[in-house]
Each structure stands twice: as C-alpha cells, then as structure tokens.
Amino acid sequence: MALKKGEITELEIESAAFKGKGVAKKDGLAVFIPNTAPGDLVKARIVKKKKKYREAKLLEIIEPSPKRIEPKCRHALVCGGCTWQFLPYSEQLVIKEQQVRDHVERIAGLSPGIVEPIVGCDQPFYYRNKMEYSFGSRRWLSDEEIRSDDYVDDSAFAAGLHAPGRYDKILNLKECHLQPEFSYKILDFVRSWCISNDIKPFDTYNNEGFIRHLVIRNSHFTEDLMVNIVTFRDEPDIVNRLCSGLIESFPEITTVINNINDQLNPTAVGRYEHVLYGPGYITDNIGHHSFKIDANAFFQTNTKQAEKLYRVAKEYAELSDDELLYDLYCGVGTLTLYLSDQVERAVGVELIDVAIKNAKSNAEDNSVSNTEFVLGDMKDTFNDHMLNKFGKPDCIITDPPRSGMHPDVVSRLGELAVPKLVYVSCNPSTMARDLKELKEHYRVEKVQPVDMFPQTYHIEAVARLTAID
C-alpha cells in the first residue's frame, strides 16, 4: 500500500535532490526528506502526499551515513541559510555536479556528457559579501520546544533568517559562518540595541512595528563595509541614534543606509532611502575593474568566485575586437565591463534603474568608453528598435534571475540565432528549461557548473551555444 500522510516509516537515503533534500524510494515512490545524506538510514513521517512522490520530515537518524560530518554551526539543521553543512565540501561538489547533469538530461533532453567537471570554491566558509537578516515578533521554536507538552511562547524579538518555508517565523541566530564574523556581531548589536531601546520588530500579521531587515555588504578587495537598516517608517531620530551606536562600536563601517519599506511586501528594498553615514555605496573589484555598489544594486555575492565564473563566460564567448556584444540582465555592468576590452562595443540591458546608474558610473570610473547601458524590462526592451539602434550582436551573454528568461526573450533569442550565445545561470533547472527551447536553433556545446555558494544547494552554471547553420 502506498505511503499515507502521517505514516512513520524507515527509509534509506539513496541520493540527493535539488534544494538539498535526500531521496529515498519506497512502494515505487520517491520520498524527499530534508537534512538527510546519501547513505543515511532514517525514521521519517510522511507530511505531503503527491501522485508521484511523497515529502517527509526527518524524525531520527537510525544509522548515519559514513559521509556525515559534524556541522560547524549550531543552526545548520534548522536554518534555511545552509543545507549541507553535515557533508564534506568535496561531497557537496559531487552532488551539485550530478544535479546539473540530471537537469541537462532530464529537463533539456541533452546528453549529460556535455557537462564539464565542476569548478569548486577555495573558501567554503565566510565567502559571502552580502547577508540579509530579518526581524520579527515570532521566533522559530526548537525541536525540543515543539515536542514539549508544556505551552511554549514563541513571541519574542527575533533577528536572523526566516525559518524554511515560513515568512512569519524568524530563526533567532546565535552564529553564522557564511559572511565574515563582523556580520553576526553587527546583527547581535542591532538586536540588543533595539531591545534596550524598546524598538519593535515588524509584525507581518498586524503590519506594525519598526525594524524589518538588516543588510550587511562588504567588499572583498577593499575595506568597504555597508550597513543597510530597513524600516517600516521614516523616523530619523531612531535610525540616527542606531547609526551612531554602530559607528562607535564598529569603526570599520564605511557607510550606513536607511531604506524605508512602508509597503506590505516583504522585501529589503525600500521605496526610498537615506544615507546616514559615508558615501552611500561600497566599491569592490572583479578582474581589473572596480565597481560602485549601492544598497539595492545586484552584485555577485561571492566576489572571488565570481572571477572564476566570469573567466568561464569569457572563454565560452571566444570574443574578438571587431565584435558587438549584448549583455542581457547586466546588473551593475560587472560582466559587461569585464568583457568590454575583448570587443569593439558592448551593450548592457537591465530592469533596475539604480543598477543602470551604477553601471554607467562604473564604466566612467574605469575609463571604459565602448559600453552603453539600456534601462528596461527585457521582454519589452530586447526588440527590433534596440537591434536597429545598436546592431545585431555577434555574441549575447544572458545572466537572468533564478526564474530564468521570460518566454518572449527565449523566443527572440531563437529568432535571432546569433553566432554565439553564453547562458550564465544561478538555477540550472530553469536554464535547462530554456535550453530545451533554444536547442531548436542552437547547438548546446558544453555546460560548466561553478559553485558560488558552498554549504547550500545553490549552483551556478555556464552554457555555450552556437547557432545551427
């Protein structure tokens, strides 16, 4: 009889699936279980029943996999920030490479043999240059508290990361090993300061309170350090006092921003912002170019590893100095500028206005004169008018968000059939979905996985495509 919801069963984990869940097989069904590793023998409860699979919650590890190690962080098994701290980094790389191969074969319908060996990260901890923490009035309870027969109050000033799958519960962090140590210390200071000064966290149920997020950005190649305080209201007296406390306790901070998000959306991007201290941006380097990064602008989260990713894109593009390059979803122009000295002209396209502002400024600051940047939604901007203005490109780099490219953009790329297309992806499953459509017009020659985010299930990949004659 097929596994029923609520049923408790013993399972042996055979492999790892995308999003970091272990996979077991029983009654002809796949069962997905978080916090498990290949080789684990576990006891689990079925929590979700689907036609072709089940999802389960780990209750007990009966016999641990020989691959298991002790996580570095006490929060590793309950935090959504890390997925695989209980596995050696070498094993994480094996799983990630296999997942890219699986997506290429199963979703795109291509040979897994086109996937190259994964490029790993030299620094598997403390590699992030940006951490976005959240505040809330309800904390995530420990397993012991959840199992307790006594009532446990979850109301508290909580600061940390959202519990997996919960927008309303915050895991109250006591440590974190993804960004350098100052990151958690700043979070701890802000939490303590708010509690001492009776500053309320934002309550997602009642839409009240004050502090919503804390975003910390640091530069890898300079000493710049930004603290972005995201609040529900514009109250200069409170944030200026907090800013003064931060600067006094952390003199290494070079700029402090206050983003005001007075809307009901949960993002850390404010409707407007104030610069409280310093220039309002940080500067970092990729290759021999420097980049100004505003509080809400996109920049690769692992600066050092981004150079490896960009070297792959450069190799795959095989550019020459008489070519026209389009860089779709260009952000602050990092990849556009990185490749600009390889081509006659490069055109970047981006939806976010502050990113385009940064991109133009970055080109000017780096004395790059052969780039142009276009503001607009890709599905509307990447059209005949743009082609008539700048010309048909010899090569297109596309680096879309996690959701992949809009179908209209995929169709447009198919119609253009440019000689060379390089797809840089932060989500191999959506990249594979797009490659399935693009392979009607292009040969997908090779795919290179690059690990930008150790300890997590996230994986980047670069694909090289050439037009079918």
Give the class (CATH, top level) of 130-286.
mainly beta
Active-site annotation holder among 79, 82, 243, 426: 426
* Residue 312 pLDDT > 70: yes
Structure confidence at residue 10 (pLDDT) = 93
Q: How confident is the model at residue 145 (pLDDT cuts 50, 70, 90)?
A: low
% residues pLDDT > 90 (the chain):
73
Q: Percentage of residues in the chain with pLDDT exceeding 70?
A: 95
pLDDT in tens, 398-420: 999 999 999 999 999 999 999 99
Let me know if the fold of 93-123+290-467 is the same as that of 130-286.
no
pLDDT at 110 over 80: yes
What mean pLDDT is reported for the chain?
91
Residue 168 has pLDDT above 80, yes or no: no
Q: What is the 3-state secondary structure (H, E, C) of the chain?
A: CCCCCCCEEEEECCEECCCCCEEEEECCEEEEECCCCCCCEEEEEEEEECCCEEEEEEEEEEECCCCCCCCCCCCCCCCCCCCCCCCCHHHHHHHHHHHHHHHHHHCCCCCHHHECCCECCCCCCCCCCEEEEEEEEEECCCHHHHHCCCCCCCEEEEEEEECCCCCCCEEECCCCCCCCCHHHHHHHHHHHHHHHCCCCECECCCCECCEEEEEEEECCCCCCEEEEEEECCCCHHHHHHHHHHHHHHCCCCCEEEEEECCCCCCCCCCCEEEEEECCCEEEEEECCEEEEEECCCCCCCCHHHHHHHHHHHHHHHCCCCCCEEEEECCCCCHHHHHHHCCCCEEEEEECCHHHHHHHHHHHHHCCCCCEEEEECCHHHHCCHHHHHHHCCCCEEEECCCCCCCCHHHHHHHHHHCCCEEEEEECCHHHHHHHHHHHCCCEEEEEEEEECCCCCCCCCEEEEEEEECC
Residue 17: predicted pLDDT: 84
pLDDT (0 to 100) of residue 155: 64
Residue 297: pLDDT over 70 = yes
What is the CATH architecture of 1-68? Beta Barrel (2.40)
Domain positions in the chain: 1-68, 93-123+290-467, 130-286
Please indicate whether residue 262 or residue 152 has the higher confidence score (pLDDT): 262
pLDDT at 247 over 90: yes
Four-way CATH pick for 93-123+290-467: 3.40.50.150, 2.60.40.10, 3.30.300.30, 3.40.640.10: 3.40.50.150
Report the C-alpha gap between 96 and 108 in whole angstroms: 17
Whether 58 and 33 have beta carbons less than 8 Å apart is answered as yes
pLDDT at 154: 58
pLDDT for the residue 80? 74
- Average pLDDT, integer, range 43-67: 92
pLDDT tier at 2, thresholds 50, 70, 90: confident
**Residue 280 in contact with residue 354, Cβ under 8 Å?**
no
- pLDDT at 299 (0 to 100): 86
Whether the predicted pLDDT of 374 surpasses 70: yes
Average pLDDT over residues 171-194: 94
pLDDT at position 147, please?
56
> Is residue 426 flagged as an active site residue?
yes
The answer on pLDDT for 210 being more than 90 is yes
265 closest CA partner among 299, 294, 230: 230
Place 102 in a pLDDT band, splitting at 50, 70 and 90: very high
- Confidence band for 79, pLDDT divided at 50, 70 and 90: confident
- pLDDT above 90: residue 309: yes
β 53-63/41-49 pair status: antiparallel
Question: How far is it, in rounded angstroms, from Cα 459 to Cα 289?
Answer: 25
- In which residue are the tokens 């309870």 written? 141
For the stretch 111-130, pLDDT in tens is 999 999 999 999 999 999 99
Check residue 49 and give its pLDDT. Answer: 87
Is 119 in contact with 451 (CB distance < 8 Å)? yes
pLDDT value, residue 142? 57
pTM of the model: 0.89
